[in-house]
């Protein structure tokens, strides 16, 4: 598909919710692996006994891990037809309005905010993301993700 035609099709999706992920949970084991990989070993994330007596009544998922948990939902979506691959180019306006207790179901919603050409054979899409917490009114995370897709 020619780039201009592809851009026109994607521009029609701007402002509409096009991707809603499945509910997922982040386990204590996954938080431990994240802590090991990143060095984020704060007790509020990894010390279950101490965290149970803490302000959240249990361990919470690191904010960056909450943000990174969107990858499976986005990778399953066919946002850019004909794309051979893509990368996360950057983030804007990341906020964590609510802490996420380990094991609490999360769901990701993506809304395209802008689309533009990225060179002669690529597309850049800026998407708003909201990470919902099941049963809560405030989200775990809101951000803008900038993704580049290769054609």
Q: Does residue 10 form part of some domain?
A: yes
DSSP secondary structure string for all residues of 69-134: TTHHHHHHS--STT--EEEEEEEEEEE--S--BTT--EEEEEEEEEEEE-SSSEEEEEEEEEEEET
Whether the predicted pLDDT of 79 surpasses 70: yes
Q: Does residue 41 form part of some domain?
A: no
Whether the predicted pLDDT of 42 surpasses 70: yes
pLDDT of the residue at 100: 97
Instruction: Find tokens 């990143």 and name the residue.
Output: 38
pLDDT of the residue at 14: 86
Q: Does residue 33 form part of some domain?
A: no
Number of domains in the chain: 1
> If DSSP codes are grouped into helix, strand and coil, which group holds residue 16?
coil
Q: Does residue 123 form part of some domain?
A: yes
HSE value, Cβ hemisphere, 13 Å, CA-based, for 45: 20
1 — pLDDT class (breaks 50, 70, 90) = low
Q: Does residue 114 form part of some domain?
A: yes
pLDDT of the residue at 43: 97
Q: CATH number, domain at 73?
A: 3.10.129.10
Q: Does residue 40 form part of some domain?
A: no
* Cα–Cα distance for residue pair 23/30, rounded to 1 Å: 16
Whether the predicted pLDDT of 108 surpasses 90: yes
Find the domain containing 120 and state its range.
Answer: 3-26+61-150
pLDDT of the residue at 28: 98
């Amino acid at each position: 598909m020619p780039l201009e035609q592809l851009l026109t099709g994607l521009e029609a999706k701007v402002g509409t919710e096009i991707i809603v992920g499945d509910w997922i949970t982040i386990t204590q084991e996954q938080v431990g692996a994240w802590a090991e990989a990143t060095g984020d070993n704060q007790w509020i994330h990894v010390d279950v006994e101490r965290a149970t007596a803490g302000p959240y009544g249990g361990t919470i998922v690191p904010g960056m891990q909450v943000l990174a948990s969107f990858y499976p939902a986005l990778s399953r979506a066919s946002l850019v037809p004909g794309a051979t691959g893509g990368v996360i180019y950057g983030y804007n306006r990341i906020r964590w309005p609510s802490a996420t207790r380990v094991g609490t179901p999360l769901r990701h919603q993506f809304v395209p905010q802008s689309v533009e050409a990225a060179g002669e054979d690529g597309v850049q899409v800026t998407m708003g993301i909201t990470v919902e917490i099941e049963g809560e009114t405030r989200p775990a995370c809101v951000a803008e993700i900038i993704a580049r897709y290769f054609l």
